[in-house]
Amino acid sequence: MNKIILLSILSFFVITACEDKDNKSDAYGNFEATEVIVSAQANGQIIQFTPEEGVELALDETVGLIDTVVLQLNKKLMEQQKITIASQYKNLSSEIDVLKQQLTNAKINQDRILNLFSAGAATQKQVDDIVGVMDLIKKQISAANTKRNNISDQIDGVDVQIEQINEALGKCHIRNPQKGTVLVKYAETGEVTGIGRPLYKIADLSEMKLKAYISGTQLPNVKLGQKVEVLFDKSEKENTSVTGTISWISQTAEFTPKTIQTKQERVNLVYAIKVAVKNNGAIKIGMPGEVNF
């Protein structure tokens, strides 16, 4: 009787061990998503801020506004300066037109005097005087053109400053950089923020990635784009099975993370892989998962 009982116990453990071995997955890890921390790109008080944790946001959706009063005033000042400088440019252009007309008239006089001089009816002094008048007008035109070009450069400089202000005004509008779900909210309406201060964290949860670890002996049989079975907890005793695609394989070996395997296995070198899985909402960040090749 004792022998029969002993054999029964041994058989139970052998069967259990075989079942455990058969049920063991090829790799283990945790699910993760690409998380993006959205930060302020302007200084000032947050006038409007709509993101809420758990809410999905669209790409390029406007989710907030930082105070723009100071920037708007600076823009008005620059625009007024441009109007003032532009009026100077216009006045100089009119002055140059007058000088050009004077030069034309002087040229007519010069031709007349030269004809009279050829006929002996004008003196050399008259010829020299009209030449001097023309040279003076030409210098005045040259000086006016130089001044007008400088004013044109000033207008270009003001335009650049206005463009910079417009760029800063655009950054006061907080736009969502990627489609996803808000994970953490760091700021509230009415708070004063600054450039680089985190406002919220977002991640696209429609596709999760299971970061798992494989041994060196498994590595030759794993390829990018390979379809694999991914398991994650459905209940205490059941798993949900979905299909995943290997999207990344590490080129560097590392020791097995202590949070995943036993102490004995942690001394082994492994390679990290990532398996992309479509998520219907059941998979959460940090949830453990398994992979079968």
Residue-wise pLDDT for 193-203, tens only, equals 999 999 999 99
DSSP 209: E
Task: Give pLDDT, residue 10.
Answer: 44
Mean pLDDT confidence for 237-266 = 80
Predicted TM-score (pTM) of this structure: 0.74
DSSP 161: H
- Separation between Cα atoms, residue 28 and residue 238, nearest integer Å: 16
Task: Give pLDDT, residue 237.
Answer: 81
- Separation between Cα atoms, residue 95 and residue 83, nearest integer Å: 18
Average pLDDT over all residues of the chain: 90
Mean pLDDT confidence for 148-152 = 96
Paired strand residues for 44:
193
Mean pLDDT confidence for 150-164 = 97
- Separation between Cα atoms, residue 222 and residue 234, nearest integer Å: 26
Confidence of residue 13 (pLDDT cuts 50, 70, 90): very low
Give the tokens for residue 229: 């079975």
Alpha helices by DSSP H, listed for 176-277, are none
Mean pLDDT confidence for 26-33 = 94
Task: Give pLDDT, residue 256.
Answer: 73
From residue 168, how far is each of 48, 69, 74, 158, 227 by CA, in Å? 17, 12, 11, 15, 47
